Amino acid sequence: MADGVRSGRHLSILDTDGQPHPVENATAILVLVAGLVSFVLGLIVRNVHTGPAAHIIATATGLFALVVGLYAQMVSSTRNQRVVIVTGIIAGFVGLAIGLSKGGFTP
C-alpha cells in the first residue's frame, strides 16, 4: 500500500490486492446502496401505513440487490468487496421479504 501512495495512485479500500477493480467496486457499492434503500423502505412499510408505491419500491430494490449481488459475488476480486456485497444482499433480502409480506408488486 505504501508503494501505491508513493507512486501517486489512489487505491480504494476495497482493492486489498493492490490492483484497481473499478467495475467490481462500483457494483459492490451499488448492491450495498440498493440493499440499504430496500431495508429502510421495508422498515418504513412495516411500521407506517404507506401507499402501494413504497411496497413496490421496497420489493423492486430488494430484488435488484439480491440478483445483482449474487452476480457480483461471482465476479468479485477481494475479500472486502465480498463483505460489502453480502451486507447489501442481506439488507436487500430483508427489504424484499418485508415488501412481499405487505403486498409486493401488487398495488
pLDDT, one tens digit per residue, over 41-65 is: 999 998 888 888 989 999 999 999 9
- For residue 23, what pLDDT is reported? 92
Domain assignments of the chain as residue spans, ordered by start: 20-101
Least confident residue range of 34-43, 47-56, 78-87: 47-56
For 54, the grid coordinates are 413504497
pTM over 0.75: yes
Kindly tell me if the per-residue pLDDT of 102 is higher than 80.
yes
Kindly tell me if the per-residue pLDDT of 10 is higher than 90.
no
The contacts of residue 72 (CB under 8 Å, 6+ apart) are: 24, 27, 28, 31, 81, 85
For 70, the grid coordinates are 449474487
Kindly tell me if the per-residue pLDDT of 2 is higher than 60.
no
